Amino acid sequence: MRVTRRGLTANPRAGSSDVRTFVRGEGTSLQGDRPTLTIESSRAYSERAEAEQIVGLLKGIVKAASP
């Protein structure tokens, strides 16, 4: 899994090359006394059956990350 400061990352499930799960993490109060990391996970997407949805999600991630 690739860790980013903020955003979603495609992450293959262990042992299955045709399933994708998207993970979002956001850190807050990183310089404070109690830093917090919030992590959210999507449902599993099958590459074969849901390729269009996966491409749409990836396009949304790229668009959101672009300045």
Residue 18 to residue 14: CA distance in whole angstroms: 10
Burial class (CB in 10 A: 0-12, 13-18, 19+), 50: middle
pTM of the predicted structure, to 2 decimals? 0.55
Locate the domains of the chain by residue range: 6-65
Ranges of residues in the chain with a pLDDT under 50 are 1-3, 16
Tokens describing residue 16: 């299955």
Q: Are 36 and 27 in contact (CB under 8 A)?
A: yes
In sequence order, the β-bridge partners of residue 37 are 27
Q: Report pLDDT digits (tens) over 38-56.
A: 999 889 888 888 888 888 8
